[in-house]
A and B are shown apart, each in its own frame.
Chain A
Amino acid sequence: MSQIHVTTKINGDETEFLCEPEDTLLDVLRDRLGLTGAKEGCGTGDCGACSVTVDDRLVCSCLMLGAEAEGREIATIEGMADGEVLHPLQRKFIEHAALQCGICTPGILVAAKSLLENNPDPSEEEARYWLAGNLCRCTGYDKIIRAVMDAAAEMRGEIANDPDDSLRRAS
């Protein structure tokens, strides 16, 4: 079977690739483009570890074909930081110890960024429901939710970047 030629934009860069018709976008990112930040935890859209955005819409890249990326704009975890400056969510995840093993972290960060673009001031419940498609087996989600809420507050300009913030110490 002949391969398909796809032209797309990934993290702002014009990108071309050839893929098999059955290759998922996740296969393409990981195996053809070397973008291994998105992880395959299930391959069935249940764990969210492969989360990316396609034209600003949050998707599981394991559920989309690589060929469908034609003409789209894809954003992955690799494009989240601006050079050596971390996105506030990335910084807050480290500060709040919101990761243990870190395998779910790229997907959760991509999903959380999408949340805050859609809703800059989510309630805790809204954050929990938005992230319900991203499984984390290590943390029990507590510190993840705190990190997301803290990053949202900082991005709204409500709290200075204070490592001793009260939310973190609440427990």
Chain B
Amino acid sequence: MALDKQAETAKRQFKVVGTRPNRPDGIDKVTGRARFGADAVAPGMLTGRVLRSPHAHARIVKIDASRAAALSGVKAVVTRADFPEPPAHVADVLDNCMAGAKALYDGHAVAAVAAVSPAVARRALKLIEVEYEVLAHVTDVDEAMQPGAPVLHEGRTDETVPEGFSGNVISRCEFGHGDIEAGLAKADRVVERSFRTAATHQGYIEPHACLAQMGPDGQADLWCCTQGHYMVRNTCAAILGMEVGQLRVTASEIGGGFGGKTTVFLEPVALMLSKKAGRPVKMVMSREEVLRASGPTASTSIDVRIGMTKDGRITAGDAVLRYQGGAYPGSPVGMGSMSAFAPYDLENVRTVGFDVVSNRPKQAAYRAPGAPMAAFAVESVIDELAKSLGLDPLDVRIRNAAVEGTKSSYGPTYPAIGAKATFEAAKAHPHWSAPLGENQGRGVACGFWFNFGGDTCVTLNVNLDGTVSVSEGNPDIGGSRASMSMMAAEELGIPYEQVRTIIADTGSLGQNEVTDGSRVTFAVGLATIEAARQAIRVMCARAAKIWGIDEDAVVWEDGAAKPAGPNAGQFPPMSLAEIAAVASNTGGPIAGHCEVNAEGAGVSFATHIVDTEVDPETGAVKILRYTVIQDAGKAVHPDYVEGQFQGGAVQGIGWALNEEYIYGEDGRLQNPGFLDYRVPVASDLPMIDTVILEIPNPGHPYGVRGVGETSIVPPLAAVANAVSAAAGVRLTDLPMSPPKVQAAIQAARG
């Protein structure tokens, strides 16, 4: 069945899908008209501001806000005491938005005000008196696990964790199959190494922002930049004790998210301030607040052991992964553990993961959460083994590639996948055989991501003039409105320009999962196609009614209803526009809709090749050339597929070379700004070449796989392998900032 569908997809001739039309929101975004989170205003609007803990770990003994509340122009003050006792599933979320008994990290919110101006709000924050009992803190993952470490939460450790760890170790997970020690015994060489990666931030340029309005009748409206306004609605309603239907959330244009806008920070606070003040409240984070108190990714400590025969077969792969995910449980160590060895067909494989809390802001998803760090460690060891055995690193990967029918390292058996195809395309790419100069090195690495589907609703309305309006519920973070319009146009057989897709508010469609897991082009696309098919069925029925023939005797081709064959009767085709024009006389408005929990998101693989040059005197690394090869299943809009490949690669370059959360002895973040938290800039980079492979996903009508996340998985390892080759010494600690690279070179030289 799956194979048949795949063959059908492969031979389908697309007319719109695969072209590169202009995006519908392009003009708004190049003229400054597009309205992002901080661009909304409301009559009578107040400014909301948050008071944040200066301590990494402290008991909140007392908060006295009476002087702030008495200040002229202050309309509301909120502390945790204003919120009802939350349901268990949002208890940590609320505690992260507004601290309860303890402040758990530098920047943790402890109070908030709403005032008539930013200046008054700032003055009011200074008048709030918080009495803290400062506690010992821990921000390093390995230290946090040690017995005797300061413990953030008593009693949160679950039964999976063995004896001998501190209470900061929340849970342990394990994946794999086979016998590791037996496998290692068959190896000609075993390499064992330890790796560390720093926490990084998604670095979206748009700080979190929202505008909340809540009336005394309990009805509320919220405008915010988010990856999922349904999630915002459900979470805020639970935290505020509201009925979900009383809260309508509208997603603004979103200025980047990369996973960091998949939870709430300001929104429940803004709603509570608005409720108390009886006026709309707007809140916008500063960049410092974004870095101190939104959700960066986990920092990690990973040990890897891999055995290989001298002809390049991996006999066993074993890894222990420790991820600190900040002040609350829920680091992405599970997905790191599942993805670590996913590109390979292994007889013996095991990963063990530990979820650890520490006195840092709670991590949020960051593009393929958990996977880049795991791939960094595993792909580094595979590279080292290949080189030490005199083997081509790509030949080794081809030799061990997971293929259709492989039992994956995390359990499921793969359908058709593109791992081997990306390796072979990398090997054939001119980049792989191009010459290198002095102090230059080339690295290659592979990456995997699951991709997700999930709850999705789409409504497709056929308008009276034959244009089509598509409503979907997932914020468009990188061109997805264009992709949905393209898929609707493809299915309906009409030009792209006749379809306009909008992002509906939470009152207009049923539940939609967050824009995450690379799910939107897959799942919302699938739902859009199904909605179009439903509208086509209606239109065929209307044509049948007009012609007085059986519904089954009408087919839809090239945007028009036609009799299925000569026996059905002789009627000229009726176009979509012609059917739409008389809809009122044939049964009323025409629409299609689809509500689905989309399954069948195909996994995806990428292989990256990078050339670097290392300055042996300073340790500075220059990226010379970069090539991304990735399986997209089917590229709906190739420009935006390439854009995802390029953007993920460059975020990974930043993670590999520059970006890190630096905590001082006092537990405070030392670099909460874009000057010292340095993301890649244009002059750091070459062009990022891309190769799109299309191995159709059997689970999607057009073969689409998600592409957004896989692209950040290989670059940490690819860059590390390239820098290690150029420097002549293995780099195992990210970021590979100049001082670290220089020190490694010095140490290797003795």
Give chain A's interface residues, CB within 8 Å of chain B: 20, 22, 30, 35-44, 46-47, 49, 76-78, 80-81, 86, 90-91, 93-97, 99-106, 109, 125, 127-129, 131-146, 170-171
Say which residue of A44, A76, A103 sits within 8 Å of B287 (CB atoms): A44
Say which residue of A22, A76, A144 sits within 8 Å of B32 (CB atoms): A76
| Nearest CB in chain A: distance from B265 CB, A | 17
The stretch of B4-12, B592-600, B680-688 that contacts the partner chain: B680-688
> Which of A76, A77, A103 lies at the interface centre, i.e. has the most chain B CB atoms within 10 A of its CB?
A103
Contact digits for B671-693, partner A, Cβ 8 Å, 1 yes 0 no: 00111000111111101111000
Interface assignment of B306: CB less than 8 Å from any CB of chain A:
no
Q: A131-B682, A135-B681 given as contacts; is B30 within 8 A of A36 (CB)? A: no
Interface assignment of B34: CB less than 8 Å from any CB of chain A:
yes
Interface assignment of B619: CB less than 8 Å from any CB of chain A:
no
Closest to B687 in A: A142
Interface assignment of B551: CB less than 8 Å from any CB of chain A:
no
Contact digits for B594-615, partner A, Cβ 8 Å, 1 yes 0 no: 0000000000000000000000
The stretch of B229-237, B248-256, B575-583 that contacts the partner chain: B248-256
What are 5 sample pairs from A and B whose C-beta atoms fall under 8 A apart? A46-B674, A86-B31, A102-B34, A142-B646, A144-B682
What 11 new A-B contacts, CB under 8 Å, besides A46-B673, A81-B31, A91-B30? A30-B38, A35-B32, A39-B206, A44-B675, A76-B32, A90-B27, A101-B255, A103-B255, A129-B682, A140-B649, A171-B687
**Residues in A neighbouring B493, C-beta threshold 8 A:** none
Interface assignment of B89: CB less than 8 Å from any CB of chain A:
no
Q: Do the beta carbons of A103 and B683 come within 8 Å of each other?
A: no
The stretch of B17-25, B61-69, B378-386 that contacts the partner chain: B17-25
Say which residue of A46, A104, A132 sits within 8 Å of B683 (CB atoms): A132
Report, nearest first, the 10 A-B pairs whose CB atoms are least far apart. A37-B32, A103-B255, A102-B29, A140-B650, A97-B639, A46-B674, A140-B646, A94-B26, A77-B32, A100-B478
Give chain B's interface residues, CB within 8 Å of chain A: 20, 22-23, 25-36, 38-39, 119, 202-207, 253-258, 284, 286-287, 477-479, 637, 639-640, 642-643, 646-647, 649-651, 673-675, 679-685, 687-690
| Nearest CB in chain B: distance from A92 CB, A | 9
Q: Do the beta carbons of A41 and B287 come within 8 Å of each other?
A: yes
Q: Do the beta carbons of B23 and A49 come within 8 Å of each other?
A: no
Q: Do the beta carbons of B32 and A38 come within 8 Å of each other?
A: yes
Q: Do the beta carbons of A22 and B119 come within 8 Å of each other?
A: yes
Q: Do the beta carbons of A47 and B30 come within 8 Å of each other?
A: no
| Nearest CB in chain A: distance from B166 CB, A | 35
Q: Do the beta carbons of A134 and B479 come within 8 Å of each other?
A: no
Q: Do the beta carbons of A103 and B681 come within 8 Å of each other?
A: no
Closest to B677 in A: A46
Q: Do the beta carbons of B646 and A139 come within 8 Å of each other?
A: yes
Alpha-carbon distance A36/B28, docked complex (angstroms): 12
Q: A137-B258, A171-B690 given as contacts; is B673 within 8 A of A42 (CB)? A: yes
**Residues in B neighbouring A127, C-beta threshold 8 A:** 682
Alpha-carbon distance A42/B290, docked complex (angstroms): 9
Say which residue of B35, B202, B287 sits within 8 Å of A42 (CB atoms): B287
Closest to B119 in A: A20
Say which residue of B205, B257, B284 sits within 8 Å of A104 (CB atoms): B205
Alpha-carbon distance A139/B255, docked complex (angstroms): 12
**Residues in B neighbouring A99, C-beta threshold 8 A:** 26, 29-30
**Residues in A neighbouring B637, C-beta threshold 8 A:** 97
**Residues in A neighbouring B258, C-beta threshold 8 A:** 137
Q: Do the beta carbons of B682 and A141 come within 8 Å of each other?
A: yes
| Nearest CB in chain B: distance from A147 CB, A | 10
| Nearest CB in chain A: distance from B606 CB, A | 14
**Residues in A neighbouring B642, C-beta threshold 8 A:** 97, 142-143, 171
Closest to B681 in A: A132
Alpha-carbon distance A73/B685, docked complex (angstroms): 34
Closest to B225 in A: A103
Q: Do the beta carbons of B643 and A100 come within 8 Å of each other?
A: yes
> Which of A44, A127, A171 lies at the interface centre, i.e. has the most chain B CB atoms within 10 A of its CB?
A171
> Which of A43, A49, A81, A105 lies at the interface centre, i.e. has the most chain B CB atoms within 10 A of its CB?
A105
Q: Do the beta carbons of B31 and A90 come within 8 Å of each other?
A: yes
> Which of B31, B32, B687 lies at the interface centre, i.e. has the most chain A CB atoms within 10 A of its CB?
B32
| Nearest CB in chain A: distance from B77 CB, A | 23
Say which residue of B30, B286, B675 sits within 8 Å of A105 (CB atoms): B30
| Nearest CB in chain B: distance from A145 CB, A | 7
Q: Do the beta carbons of B287 and A43 come within 8 Å of each other?
A: yes
**Residues in B neighbouring A109, C-beta threshold 8 A:** 30
**Residues in B neighbouring A90, C-beta threshold 8 A:** 27, 30-31
| Nearest CB in chain B: distance from A141 CB, A | 4
Closest to B22 in A: A94
| Nearest CB in chain A: distance from B290 CB, A | 9
Alpha-carbon distance A133/B674, docked complex (angstroms): 11
Q: Do the beta carbons of A134 and B682 come within 8 Å of each other?
A: yes
Q: A100-B643, A142-B687 given as contacts; is B205 within 8 A of A135 (CB)? A: yes
**Residues in A neighbouring B202, C-beta threshold 8 A:** 137
**Residues in A neighbouring B26, C-beta threshold 8 A:** 93-94, 99
Alpha-carbon distance A129/B684, docked complex (angstroms): 9
Q: A46-B673, A171-B687 given as contacts; is B31 within 8 A of A78 (CB)? A: yes
Say which residue of B23, B674, B680, B682 sits within 8 Å of A145 (CB atoms): B682
**Residues in B neighbouring A43, C-beta threshold 8 A:** 286-287
Say which residue of A41, A78, A105, A134 sits within 8 Å of B29 (CB atoms): A105
Closest to B34 in A: A102
| Nearest CB in chain B: distance from A128 CB, A | 4
> Which of B258, B479, B647 lies at the interface centre, i.e. has the most chain A CB atoms within 10 A of its CB?
B647
Alpha-carbon distance A54/B204, docked complex (angstroms): 27
Q: A101-B477, A142-B646 given as contacts; is B30 within 8 A of A86 (CB)? A: yes
Alpha-carbon distance A132/B685, docked complex (angstroms): 10
Say which residue of A30, A78, A135 sits within 8 Å of B674 (CB atoms): A135
| Nearest CB in chain A: distance from B26 CB, A | 4
Alpha-carbon distance A93/B687, docked complex (angstroms): 16
| Nearest CB in chain B: distance from A38 CB, A | 7
Q: Do the beta carbons of A41 and B205 come within 8 Å of each other?
A: yes
**Residues in A neighbouring B674, C-beta threshold 8 A:** 41-42, 44, 46-47, 135
Q: Do the beta carbons of A97 and B647 come within 8 Å of each other?
A: no
Closest to A145 in B: B682
**Residues in B neighbouring A76, C-beta threshold 8 A:** 32
Q: Do the beta carbons of B205 and A47 come within 8 Å of each other?
A: yes
**Residues in B neighbouring A78, C-beta threshold 8 A:** 31-32
Closest to A144 in B: B682
**Residues in B neighbouring A171, C-beta threshold 8 A:** 642, 687-690
**Residues in A neighbouring B651, C-beta threshold 8 A:** 137, 140
| Nearest CB in chain A: distance from B221 CB, A | 20
**Residues in A neighbouring B35, C-beta threshold 8 A:** 36
**Residues in B neighbouring A30, C-beta threshold 8 A:** 38-39
| Nearest CB in chain A: distance from B360 CB, A | 21
